[in-house]
Structure 1
Amino acid sequence: MSDDGRHALTLIALLGSVFSPYYAAARSRGLGMGEPLDHCAMNVALYGPRASHWALTERRRTAVTRSPSALQIGPSAMRWESDDLLVSFDETTSPFPSLLPTRLRGQVRLIPHSAPPAPVRLDAAGRHLWTPIAPIARAEVTLSHPELRFSGSAYLDANAGDEPLEDAFTGWSWARATTGEGHRHPHASAAHDEVAVSYQVERRDGSRLRIARTFDRRGDERELGAHALRPFGRTGWGLSRSIAVDPGTSPHLVRTLEDTPFYARSLASATLGGRQATVVHEQLSLERFQCSWVRFLIPFRMRRAT
């Protein structure tokens, strides 16, 4: 998220694109779990004050190169340079909603400002792990298509699983909240001293996992103080959204960044620890994702490289 709040960028490297209808079809044809490396993608989403851009091209294993410090998926790559993560991408936007695909090309340098906490088991069997690698970070973004530069608060995490998400969960909501200090210090050396992350997981067996923690630059974490889950409106597709906030306060929707039948990404404002915070939030319904009509629509938001 840029310091002035006007732009945001999300990058997701997918080794086994969990929401791919082609990956799901491979499993349903009796091919076991399918081959994850035949369904890889570098998802790039750019949000601006006037327009947004979305790119997701699924590629086969021949387009993937991996090492302990680098990952290449087609024309896009992530690699560690000392303690920084450098991401370069050159992708084509998906055909929907625009009928004229455009290029998304640029580079991001992510500079961690916190030590990585230990992985968290999301399910009782330990088949799904979440690792908040850098809860506090800065990002320097340089794009050539479209031409744009900005820097701001950033975050890096990883999810890993040994089975499809819908086998273990019915849905989840995730949120990362930062207070306003970063907006008052636009230089790259400035970063938030503490962030709050909440993860509300609904398991397939009916149990729940509730995570609400603050992280600081040293990598220390503690449970978030008294808080309550409060809704902040449904999406256009009817997904409900809620955020952990101070008791007696209510969150407010600032902008819906992504609105799909089974997934939403949003920007909200909320009060945490007595301070006003900017919240990046995601809501996922895996019950919706399993619907045949939803899987019919997904290819309109992605490409499949041949």
Structure 2
Amino acid sequence: MTDRGRQALRTSTDTLQVGPSAMHWNGKALVIDINEISGPPVISRVQGQITITPRAVTSVELPLTPDGAHVWRPFAPSSDINVDLAAKGWQWKGHGYFDANFGTRPLEDDFKFWTWGRYPTKAGATCIYDATRRDGSMLETAIAFDHQGKARQVSAPPRVPFKSSGWRIRRETRADPGVMPRQVLAMLDAPFYSRSAVQTVLDGETVTGVHEALDLDRYASPLVKPMLAFRVPRRARWPQGDEGQS
């Protein structure tokens, strides 16, 4: 991922382009073309294509704050994904999803901490959002999506803490009584953010899905924020017609 300036952004009805990389909706699938350079500790080319084919596209939006300053938009909670990157072993097909967050204020202004999980189920997928807001209030919601994209709010089992990340970020998710969730695959471990595949049990069904924990107190720290500049390459300028550079 490269942090780029405004000149690198181009948009149309079906395409979002940032520098040499782009996402394009072809009417049936989201095609993501990647042409980037990774950050430390391993600096290398990241090139290839990812195709996400939704099983259904939803119209759901979840306000994360009472005033709607932050919104979660699950475009396709259940999708098929095809990954074809130009590196050995980086080609696979599987089950995926596509969502996004939108906001008019920095996240750290309104949140202290949150966890999120998206778990494929026999009926479709269940997404869980638990967040502690700056004003002390809580967001606690679980939404079940069927294979046609229809959503309904459901009651989820209690929050259960499990092993902290490598950077000691506390983690929790929902689990049936007596069940201890566990990480089965590490994806990203940063000083303020953890992403991993987690196995848990929801209403008697054993599920494995993507889980994230985000510590906004840590993120807001003046000691942590500057670290992003070392992890994410930055290029502020992007001349018109310079799509071939990275």
Q: TM-score under structure 1 normalisation?
A: 0.74
Tell me what 2:225 maps to.
295
1:69 paired to 2:29: no
1:269 paired to 2:199: yes
Q: How does 1:1-306 map to 2 (within 5 A)?
A: 56-94=1-39, 96-98=40-42, 101-146=43-88, 148-179=90-121, 193-306=123-236
Gaps of 5+ in 2: 237-246
Q: Does the CA-based 8 Å contact 1:64-1:72 persist in structure 2?
A: yes
Gaps of 5+ in 1: 1-55, 180-191
Q: Does the CA-based 8 Å contact 1:193-1:217 persist in structure 2?
A: yes
Per-residue CA shift, 1:23-74, capped at 9, x if unaligned?
A: xxxxxxxxxxxxxxxxxxxxxxxxxxxxxxxxx2111111110112110001
Tell me what 1:32 maps to.
none
Which amino acid letter does the alignment assign opposite residue 58 of structure 1? Answer: D
Query: For 2:156 and 2:219, how far apart are their aligned partners in 1?
Result: 33
> Identity rate of aligned residues, in percent?
36
Instruction: State the SS of the aligned residue for 1:125.
Output: coil
Displacement after TM superposition at 1:223 (Å): 3.1
Displacement after TM superposition at 1:303 (Å): 0.8
Q: Does the CA-based 8 Å contact 2:82-2:93 persist in structure 1?
A: yes
Task: Select the structure with the greater relative contact order (CA < 8 A; seq sep ≥ 6).
Answer: 2
Tell me what 2:242 maps to.
none
Q: 267-276 vs 142-151, which deviates more? A: 142-151
Displacement after TM superposition at 1:247 (Å): 2.4
Displacement after TM superposition at 1:147 (Å): 5.9
Q: TM-score under structure 2 normalisation?
A: 0.91
Query: For 1:140 and 1:233, how far apart are their aligned partners in 2?
Result: 31
CA 1:146–1:89: 2 relative to 1, 3 Å: farther
The structure that is helix-richer by fraction is 1
Instruction: State the SS of the aligned residue for 2:90.
Output: strand
Between Structure 1 and Structure 2, how many residues are aligned? 236
Cα RMSD (Å) = 1.5
Displacement after TM superposition at 1:137 (Å): 0.5
